Copies of this chain bind each other. A is one copy, B any other.
Amino acid sequence: MEFGITFKGFVSPARARNLVRQAEEAGFTHCWFYDSHVLWRECYPAIAMCMEHTKKMKFGPCVTNPNSRDWSVAASLFASLALQSEGRFVVGLGRGDSAMRVMGKKPAPLARVAEFTQKVKAMVRGDEVQYGESPEAVKFPWANGYELPVHIGAYGPMALKTAGEVGDGVILQIAEPALVKWFADQAIAAGKEAGRDMSNFQVIAAAPAFTGDMDKCLEATKWFPAMVGNHVADIVEKYGAHSGLVPESLTAYIEQRKGYDYSKHGQSDNPYLDFITDDIVESFCVLGGIDAHIAKLLELEKAGTTQFNIYLDNGDEERIIADYGNKIIPHFTR
């Protein structure tokens, strides 16, 4: 299992430079940034900056979407970052949640996510590509054949199907082993159904991790179930909470859900957090002492997780990276 960290964008540039250096030295292989350009800073300048301070670490948005940028601009951006870093750029892709809603726009349909995946990968590779917004086909004369990995963020059956059919991996914003397995299995099954070799398909579990006293852990991370519950609500509305496709543990939580303030997206002072129980927080995140982290991560690995991606920005970032580097990651390096 590999390890990643995710910045939401609040971190200062000076601190980000240091944290990625520390994380690389500690054994983390990936660094992700939220891509939601109104709520936070545009993430690609930060990615390019961090690339200059690392040697092996891979970077990518977690997640971008097909609607924020013209596809040839997105592809040129991605290919340039890959070329500049000698292949250290990957993509996390979703339908566009906060990035769209904060502007009063709708997330993209899944068919558009799938088409974006395929056409952007082709443009990055150097193929001539025709896509909707461009009167003429686009081909980058400077492309160097890079095969851009695109991992698709998903929870719902149709999104998981898309991830399995066109993605190089799936990003699951949750660290609950049973749910990770249930989600990942759907994606992998869809890929096999479509005739793909799924042996290298990536399963990325993304959630906050916090080491130490449980009360402090809970306080620091309870914003997370509130934020990702929003995605789950979309599933339930479409497929029905008691259809058998959605586990009871999740639907119980959803029923308590009241609302969500997008201007506080991803922040720990989000006011609509009352309905989150401690059980839900523990279930969604990786919390507690070092041994509890190792135990849960072994479960996640057994459930098929290929990368555990820590959502940082809950405080004590240097300490958590050091704890993972010194005491946790060594148990998983093979």
Residues of A within 8 A of B (CB): 9-10, 13-15, 17-18, 21-22, 25, 37-42, 44-49, 51-53, 68-70, 72-73, 76-77, 79-81, 83-84, 102-105, 134-136, 138-142, 263, 316-319, 321-322
Contacts and interface: CB of A to CB of B under 8 A. Distances in A.
Given A69-B69, A136-B103, A318-B22, A42 B141 contact: no
7 contacts: A13-B84, A15-B25, A37-B73, A38-B139, A41-B142, A45-B77, A317-B322
Contacts of A10: 142
Contacts of A14: 25
A289 B113 CA distance: 51
Contacts of A21: 17-18, 21
A42 B77 contact: yes
Contacts of A46: 48, 80, 84
Among A70, A76, A81, A322, find the residue whose CB has the most chain B CB atoms closer than 10 A: A76
Contacts of A42: 73, 76-77, 79-80
A218 to B, nearest CB: 20
Given A104-B136, A316-B322, 16 more contacts: A14-B25, A17-B21, A38-B72, A38-B76, A38-B139, A39-B141, A41-B83, A42-B80, A44-B45, A47-B48, A48-B48, A52-B52, A68-B70, A103-B135, A318-B322, A319-B322
B134 A41 contact: no
B84 A49 contact: yes
A18 B13 contact: no
Among A46, A49, A134, A140, find the residue whose CB has the most chain B CB atoms closer than 10 A: A49
Nearest to A78: B42
A134 B100 CA distance: 10
A158 to B, nearest CB: 25
Nearest to A141: B39
Among A51, A73, A135, find the residue whose CB has the most chain B CB atoms closer than 10 A: A73
Nearest to A136: B104
A223 to B, nearest CB: 16
A253 B267 CA distance: 52
Contacts of A84: 13, 41, 45-46, 49
